[in-house]
Structure 1
Amino acid sequence: MIKFMRLKTLELNGFKSFSQKTILEFNNSIVCIVGPNGSGKSNVVEAIRYVLGEQSMKSMRGKTGSDLIFKGSKNLPKGTKATVTIYFDNIDKVFKLTNDGGETTNLNYDTISISRQVFPDGLNKYVLNGTEVRLKDIHNLLASVNIGSSGHHIISQGEADRILNANMKERRAMVEDALGLKIYQYKIKESERKLERTNENMKEVTLMRRENAPHLNFLRKQVEKFEKGKVMQEELGTLYLEYLKKESFYLDMEKKNLLTERNKISSELQSIAGKISDVEEGNSAKGNKKIEELKIVEQALNENRAAKSEIERKLGRIEGMLEIKENKVKLAGKCPLCGNELKQMEIEQIEKRQNEEKELQELRNSQVGLLSEIKKIEGEEKKLSEKIQVLKKEINEEMEALRDLEKEKFKFKVRHQELFSALELVAIKEGNLENRRYAFENEIKEGTALIGQDILSYKDFSAEGAPTGGKVLIDGTEQVELKKKIERLKIKLEDAGLGSGAEVMKEFKEVSEKDQFLSKEMEDLTKSIESLVILINDLKEKIDIEFKEGIKKINVEFDAFFKLMFGGGTASLSIITETKKKRLGKSDEEAELSEEFEEEETPEQGIEINVSLPQKKVKELHAFSGGERSLTSIALLFAMSQVNPPPFLVLDETDAALDEANSRKYGDMLEKLSKHSELIVVTHNRETMSRAGVLYGVTIGENGASKLLSVKFEEATQIAK
């Protein structure tokens, strides 16, 4: 028995005939359970088989899981579920659990409890120390302490010769289980399942990588094309920078030059316009002033002449009147000489003469006045005539000067027109410059789309990089050639289709990373396959070695127990190999329907039992009597338990066919086995009962359910009856 590992307690609740919670404590190495037939004592054995993961309902005398639940009685209702819990001592932490990843850990519990529940719908639930687990975990856990799933350590009623009736392959499994090799079988099966899954994963990964390859190759070519395009893009970027630097500098300088030129022309144009205006306004006003003055003088002269004419007319009239008056005065003087004809007439004549003389004097005075006025007018006329001559001379001189100014004005107007034309030319240049700047901005946009924001670094260019004189010969051969190169590279880039380059690179990276991941997966899977194959082979080799060694040890014990039971004879196990044919490449159904198929011969190892009874020639097991088969089976079972003692053995009436002498031998063997394993024995045999440290009696209570009693030896013999 494994040190510090033993079965402590079994707890039944609603299981089969046990309606109430029933607890069996195993405080002794041999515990016997007794009771009349039909009391339910074998249900204790089946409860142990059940809680340890038995899946065959037939081995527990049922058809479905619900058959394990208490059916009810007249006094007790039907159970809603059946629960069995088994407790093991784990002071030395020998229980181990292996996860799906193959990692094994010791369970850090002083007591291990395994519980299994079944519900009316047949659903099962496994609980390990309060945590729900899988059946696989239970088998794995029990295998770590040499409690296999073959059930060789649990012999139910009527199954004493089960190992004898098994085929060679089933016997091998029982022996392997007894030798504690089941844990390796679990590991092999788990490793084979992993190997199968790994191979499937390898197929899937290989298929995925194969499916991924064409797209990856296509993307790789696209990336190569894109990378070539990137080289062209870099070259284009260099050309663009050189071109844009010069173009930008040219546009800025040309703008400044045109602005300077415009300001210069505008300034000169403004100056010329001012001069023309001055000439037109100043000289015109000066000439007009002289002419106006001439007109005034001429008008004054004309007025003088008119006044003179009027005075001369008056003078002529006065002179005429003077002549008449003088004639009258002369006639008046001659009258007295005529004889003084009439005095009165003389007086009147004298008065008349006096009046005439007076009028004549007045006329003479008027004549003098007029002559004086004419003289004055003639003096003024002379002055005016002289002034007119002066003015005409001045006007002639002014006109001559004006003609000179007109010539200068003409020159100014010609220059004005030249400047205006130059200004229009500047405007045209500015328009062309604006168009060029617009084209430049479009070039930047196109360049940015093709190359990216890096080309905007042309703005960092300073006048220090400009050619001598601060002017860029944008129309020069070098710049024109740059533009041609740029256009050629743009066409190549457009043909390369770099517009979706970033998406292609991103997709290539993703697909490439996927391929690398799949490649790494294949590498890891290959290593896993190799490791699993090595592990499986190592485990098989280990099983083969330990199995053969175990067979040798079992044969020693088997022969000894056989001789003890039969008083002689021989008994041994031998390993035999049979070759079986297996159809390849098709399922069994496909192979049956197909007339042609391939076969593979696979060797299978099994166990053959060789016995020879003392003083008998019978060697074939099928010719043994029931008692002989039972004793042979018990000898083999005890031999296996002696070589690799299980934590406990459960024996359900395996001594039923034994006589008194063989019962004593059976009891001796129990005591020998109890040194290494706990024994739970269901029996009617007094000899067997006498070897027990604890006796439990099972009876049917008045309520129709099984009842457990702890009894003394004498009471047990009575209950067993």
Structure 2
Amino acid sequence: MFLSKLEILGFKSFANKTTINFNRGITGIVGPNGCGKTNIVDAIRWVLGEQKTTTLRMDKMENVIFNGTRQKKPMGMAEVSMTIVNDRNILPTEYSEVTITRRIFRSGESEYLLNKNICRLKDITNLFMDTGIGTNAYSVIELKMIEVILSSKTEERRRLFEEAAGVNKYKLRRRLSLKKLDEVKADLTRVNDIVSEVEKTVRSLERQAKKADQYTQIQSVLKEKEMELSEREFALFHRKKSEFKNEIAELLQSKDSIDNEIRNIELELINLRSKINEVDSELQKKRNELAKNSEELFNSQKNISVSEERLKSLKSNHTRIEQEINDFNSQLEDNQSSIDESKIEIEKLKTLLLQKENEINAFNEETEIKRNDLEFFRTELKKSNEEKFELIKLLNDKENLISNLKKEVENNQANIEKLNAKILNTTNSIAKTVGYIDNLVIEKEEAEKKLRENNLQINLREKEKAELEETISKLKSQELDKRTFIAGLKEKINFLQTLISNLEGISKGARVLLENNEWTKKNKNIFADLGDTQEQFRFALEAALKSVLNNLLIDNIEDLQNAISYLKNNDLGKASFYLLKNKNSKKSFLDSIISFSTKRKIKKISSDKNFVGWAKDFVETESKFKPFFEQILNKIAVVKNLESAISLSKMFDDFSFTTLEGDLVQSNGIVEAGSLPKEDETLFGRKQLLENLKKEFPNHEHELEKLVSEINSLELKLSEIDLRKLTEHEKLISNDIANIEKQISQLEFEKKKADEEIENAQNEIQELASKTKVIEAQLEEIDIEYQKLITTKNEIELNVQEKENHLKIFEEEFNHKTTEHNQRKIELERIKGQIINLENGINRSLQNIDTINSGVEKRKNDLIKNEEETNSILEILDETKYKLDEITLTRNKLIEEEKIISDELSKIKSEAQKFENQLNELRNQRQIVSDKIYSLELKENEINFKIENIIQHIKENYNAEIELKEFDDLDTFNFEEVAQEVQRSKEKIKNLGPVNLLAYSEYEEEKQRLEFLLKQRNDLIDSEKDLIKTINEINDTAQKLFMDTFEMIRQNFIKIFQTLFNPGDEADLMLEENVDPLEAKIEIMAKPKGKRPTTIELLSGGEKTLTATALLFAIYLVKPSPFCVLDEVDAPLDDANIDRFTKLIKEFSSNTQFIIVTHNKRTMEAAETMYGVTMQEEGISKLVGVRFEEIPEYNEPQ
């Protein structure tokens, strides 16, 4: 099998597709620095699945893609394919040629292909496992790996050996098996926990199932009794409801009858009020007619008075005219005789006339004043009468208004009384409703209090449950940790027991002597079993005592000789011994020769800051063995770290120093250091450690039992916390609260409705009272005005009477003055006439008679006119008097009619008041009936509520519909006894506590689950045993395979090392003792002739390279890799060593294909095929190849 072809595209500097064909033998790859030679090696690593970007000299994987140059763009993908010819069927596949491909894209996506089929990296890793090919195998070696292989860190070195031994697959199997074992243990722990829980659950469900059966029986009886009780209550409530409905119907009928009567009376009242209005209107009309009649009467009386006065005047004139006629006649008779006398008389008369004229003028002024006063008083009287009539009219209006307002006040007061009665009734109803509400609120508060207490209990229980669950969880976690710890402790004890029983870590010779009793019958002890130390110093003492731990203690020379003879005779190797007598003598001798200088050194070492103590002081042993430990550990100090140990060793070269991590710097210059050993790998105090662990084990088991007991106790306590009962109780209380709230809501609605009615009534009362108050205020104002008007009327009437009296006096005085004035005028005229007559009588004596006759005629005419006027006035006066009589009769008639109408109005009002009283009484009766109806409706609603509760209760509790049935025993049925039976059944159910009705099915399910889990647990236990057995088998197989391979590589390494160096040079491979070979360190010892380096790190670069090459080819002799890539490994070698190097490569090239990247010409000479790598185009690698076998032989010219 060999690498036949490598195809590179877009990988690093190989932008173009490059195919490299490899042949068997040696292939050299050459070229200047930076041309991309190592990129070929990286390509091989990368296609084999390398994941470390540092190994590929990159910071991230996408950078392996060609990044472009000035002339060429970057590529989006890199691809490498490697073809291997599988002609010896080393690879586990039927194909004779295997091609693996790896691609990566700039997006970060990558893929692997096996023979052009998509596969996983794991598939490629498994394909090359234990073949020597792989990213961690020895198929690719570069110069820096030489340092790694030869460094003090042995991990890389181990990988080479494991790859050669083919134990990787075993280690992988062991790792997977251990992982599987851990998973099985974890699963087993979980299953055990689950089984424990399920067992408890099954037991609990079994109890619950029995309780559920008991609950079902009680519930059946409860349902039967409660249905029986509910059906009869349902029927009884329906009967009561029917009775209430009948009573309500009768009351409604009665109310309708009362309403009809009220309507009839209201109609009568409306008619009466209409009549009252009509009569009142007629009365008002009569009063207006009466006022008009009074005015006509006044006018007629006034006209009569004026006419009578005029008649008096005419009568007086008539008398005067007659007198004048008589006088004229006398004058006619005496005219002649009195002419003379007349002249004398004229003189007298003239004097008298002058006097009379003066008197008349003065009298005229007085009369004019009287006339004016009379006219004024007449006008004032007329005004007063008009004012009086207006006032009477106004008084009538006020009386009507007062009457109407008083009537309105009475109506308002009646309505207020009705509304107050309604408010009183409604208030009583509200008081009852409020009482119901208060009771319900108290019930609700009590229920809410119970609910809060219940919720508090739930919260407390939930908190207690949460705390218990948290405590249980913590305890279970502790239990799991404790079980894991005990399992680990048990495993550790078994492991230590196995180590001690098998004498693991003890040298072959010592083990044989310990196991065999033929050489002695005494107890046999090795030094490792004689003492112990604290854990922190175990590694330090292990390192300090490492050289003597396998030594057997012998107390006499005879036993020592017997032991040595037994080993020699049976060819069983060698063993180390400690002779007790010698030890004691040595100890005594050493104590005697300790010098002052040594004590100073001890003092200085003890004062160092990194000094921990002297090793001998940390040993715990019997007093008889203490001297031996003191002797061995006399000059060994324990320090904190290796740096301090090395530093102190240089200063105090006759002392040895060990560290807490198990590193040792001996006084002879040997340094033992490396990784921290495992606790179980130590020999010193192993038996004591086992004993201590065995002593601790029961304590831990006891602690586990305590934890389990505490968990069981808490789980029992947790199971006793029953939240379901509290939750159901909460639900019942919540339902009660909801029902109470529903009732409260209904009652509050009714109360609100009643409050609104009261508010409306109060508003109406307030409005009526306000109106009444306004009306009463108006009445007071009107009454005041009315009284004022009465007073004014009386004053006006008194004023009118006074004015009439004054007028009468003034008229009498005026008439008297007028009469007197007329008389004076007449007398004046008479005097004038006498004078004229006397003056003219003298001149017209004869004509005077004619004049007197004419005067007589004139007077007669005046008398006729006077009589005519008198007759006319008498006629008018008679007519006016007649009219006055008619007006008086009419007035009397109107007064009578007014009284009749007023009496009729009073009668109608009285009748209306009777109807009002009847109406009020009927309304009171209707209110009583309404209250009874309301009370019955409340009872009916209560019954409906109870019926609804029964229906809801039966539906919620039994999912059934209750039907109305007829029962003959409703009146005799003992409801209380059945209710008590129901209550007793409920108490039984309550005493049962929470019941899981699904317990039957859950019990069966959990039981099946338990059986399944028990089966699973048994399977897991079997799996655990099988895995432990498999791990042991893998360990045995891998250890044997590794040790066999190691021994072969060791022999090969020694031979090849002497070939590469000189025959006398020393080299060897050593495994760390007393450690699992699969985990032990591999030490390389290389000592070229003439040199004695303490470590291989002190070798030169060329010596390191040859040593590593020797190791590599030693591995190839055991398990050759199909191909080997060497990247400038020969760089440190000189020409002589190069020849040895190439010679060795040529020897191995028959079995292994070598691909060497080199700059060395001698190495190039060894190559059969040569590839040159150049960069004709900047940044792009190009390959040029030549096979030397194809070049014709060159003959020098003769």
TM-score band by shorter chain is 0.5 to 0.7
**Match for 2:114 among 119, 128, 132?**
128
Give SS of 2:1041's match. Answer: helix
Match of 1:468 in 2: none
After TM superposition, give the deviation of residue 67 of structure 1 in Å: 2.1
The gaps in structure 1 that reach 5 residues or longer are 97-106, 233-448, 450-491, 581-601, 717-721
Match of 1:618 in 2: 1093
After TM superposition, give the deviation of residue 577 of structure 1 in Å: 4.4
Give SS of 1:161's match. Answer: helix
Check if 1:641 corresponds to 2:1116. Answer: yes
Match of 1:147 in 2: 133
Q: Counterpart of 2:1108 in structure 1: which amino acid?
A: S
Q: Counterpart of 1:73 in structure 2: which amino acid?
A: T
**Match for 1:182 among 132, 157, 168?**
168
Match of 1:57 in 2: 53
Greater fraction of residues in helix? 2
Match of 2:1019 in 1: 524
Q: Could you report, residue by residue, the CA deviation over 1:524-564 in whole angstroms, capped at 9, with x for unpaired residues?
A: 22222222222222222222222221121111111111111
Q: How does 1:473-492 map to 2 (within 5 A)?
A: none
**Match for 1:40 among 15, 36, 40?**
36
Give SS of 1:60's match. Answer: coil
Match of 2:1138 in 1: 663
Q: Contact conserved, 2:4 with 2:22, CA < 8 A, in 1?
A: yes
Q: Contact conserved, 2:140 with 2:1124, CA < 8 A, in 1?
A: yes
**Match for 1:14 among 10, 13, 35?**
10
After TM superposition, give the deviation of residue 500 of structure 1 in Å: 8.4
Match of 1:692 in 2: 1167
Q: Could you report, residue by residue, the CA deviation over 1:120-157 in whole angstroms, capped at 9, with x for unpaired residues?
A: 35444333334444433332221153435423321124
Greater fraction of residues in strand? 1
Q: Distance in 2 between matches of 1:572 and 1:139?
A: 32
Give SS of 1:53's match. Answer: coil
Check if 1:215 corresponds to 2:201. Answer: yes
**Match for 1:709 among 1175, 1184, 1187?**
1184
Q: Distance in 1 between matches of 2:173 and 2:28?
A: 35
Cα distance, 1:515–1:84 mapped onto 2, change above 3 Å: farther
Q: Contact conserved, 2:1106 with 2:1141, CA < 8 A, in 1?
A: no
Q: Could you report, residue by residue, the CA deviation over 1:222-281 in whole angstroms, capped at 9, with x for unpaired residues?
A: 567889999x9xxxxxxxxxxxxxxxxxxxxxxxxxxxxxxxxxxxxxxxxxxxxxxxxx
**Match for 1:202 among 188, 193, 210?**
188
**Match for 1:24 among 3, 20, 27?**
20
TM-score, structure 2 as length reference: 0.33
Check if 1:570 corresponds to 2:1045. Answer: no
Q: Contact conserved, 1:28 with 1:694, CA < 8 A, in 2?
A: no
Match of 2:124 in 1: 138
Moved more, 216-225 or 51-60: 216-225
Q: For this pair of structures, how many residues does the alignment match? A: 427
Q: Counterpart of 1:677 in structure 2: which amino acid?
A: T
Q: How does 1:361-400 map to 2 (within 5 A)?
A: none
Q: How does 1:226-305 map to 2 (within 5 A)?
A: none
Q: Contact conserved, 2:58 with 2:64, CA < 8 A, in 1?
A: yes
Q: How does 1:673-688 map to 2 (within 5 A)?
A: 673-688=1148-1163
Q: Distance in 1 between matches of 2:1132 and 2:1188?
A: 21
Q: Distance in 2 between matches of 1:527 and 1:90?
A: 42
After TM superposition, give the deviation of residue 579 of structure 1 in Å: 8.1
Give SS of 1:675's match. Answer: coil
Q: Distance in 2 between matches of 1:510 and 1:9?
A: 65
Q: Distance in 2 between matches of 1:633 and 1:691?
A: 20
Q: Distance in 2 between matches of 1:171 and 1:178?
A: 11
After TM superposition, give the deviation of residue 85 of structure 1 in Å: 2.0
Q: Contact conserved, 2:35 with 2:1181, CA < 8 A, in 1?
A: yes
Check if 1:631 corresponds to 2:1106. Answer: yes
Q: Distance in 2 between matches of 1:20 and 1:512?
A: 71
Q: Counterpart of 1:641 in structure 2: which amino acid?
A: Y
Q: Contact conserved, 2:206 with 2:999, CA < 8 A, in 1?
A: no
After TM superposition, give the deviation of residue 174 of structure 1 in Å: 2.6
Give SS of 2:66's match. Answer: coil
Give SS of 2:1147's match. Answer: helix
Match of 1:160 in 2: 146
Give SS of 1:17's match. Answer: coil
After TM superposition, give the deviation of residue 682 of structure 1 in Å: 1.2
Q: Distance in 2 between matches of 1:620 and 1:695?
A: 38
Q: Counterpart of 1:507 in structure 2: which amino acid?
A: E
Q: Distance in 2 between matches of 1:613 and 1:561?
A: 13
Cα distance, 1:21–1:211 mapped onto 2, change above 3 Å: farther
Moved more, 57-66 or 182-191: 182-191
Cα distance, 1:211–1:570 mapped onto 2, change above 3 Å: same
Match of 2:78 in 1: 82
Cα distance, 1:181–1:213 mapped onto 2, change above 3 Å: same
Q: Distance in 2 between matches of 1:22 and 1:31?
A: 17
Q: Distance in 2 between matches of 1:509 and 1:91?
A: 64
Q: Contact conserved, 2:48 with 2:134, CA < 8 A, in 1?
A: no
Cα distance, 1:604–1:504 mapped onto 2, change above 3 Å: same
Match of 1:538 in 2: 1033
Q: Distance in 2 between matches of 1:645 and 1:14?
A: 32
Q: Distance in 1 between matches of 2:91 and 2:1007?
A: 47
Cα distance, 1:525–1:125 mapped onto 2, change above 3 Å: farther
Match of 2:1048 in 1: 553
Q: Counterpart of 1:68 in structure 2: which amino acid?
A: V
Q: Distance in 1 between matches of 2:1078 and 2:1186?
A: 54
Match of 1:508 in 2: 1003
Q: Could you report, residue by residue, the CA deviation over 1:422-442 in whole angstroms, capped at 9, with x for unpaired residues?
A: xxxxxxxxxxxxxxxxxxxxx
After TM superposition, give the deviation of residue 42 of structure 1 in Å: 0.8
Q: Counterpart of 2:1033 in structure 1: which amino acid?
A: D
TM-score, structure 1 as length reference: 0.53
Cα distance, 1:608–1:705 mapped onto 2, change above 3 Å: same
Q: Distance in 2 between matches of 1:560 and 1:226?
A: 87
Q: Contact conserved, 1:169 with 1:605, CA < 8 A, in 2?
A: no
Give SS of 2:1072's match. Answer: strand
Q: Could you report, residue by residue, the CA deviation over 1:100-139 in whole angstroms, capped at 9, with x for unpaired residues?
A: xxxxxxx444433322223335444333334444433332
Match of 1:302 in 2: none
Match of 2:1126 in 1: 651
After TM superposition, give the deviation of residue 60 of structure 1 in Å: 1.4
Give SS of 2:187's match. Answer: helix
Q: Contact conserved, 2:28 with 2:1170, CA < 8 A, in 1?
A: yes
Q: How does 1:437-448 map to 2 (within 5 A)?
A: none
Q: Distance in 2 between matches of 1:88 and 1:507?
A: 63
Q: Distance in 1 between matches of 2:112 and 2:18?
A: 19
Q: Counterpart of 2:14 in structure 1: which amino acid?
A: F
After TM superposition, give the deviation of residue 508 of structure 1 in Å: 3.1
Q: Distance in 2 between matches of 1:130 and 1:206?
A: 49
Q: Contact conserved, 1:198 with 1:528, CA < 8 A, in 2?
A: yes
After TM superposition, give the deviation of residue 672 of structure 1 in Å: 2.3
Q: Distance in 2 between matches of 1:128 and 1:210?
A: 51
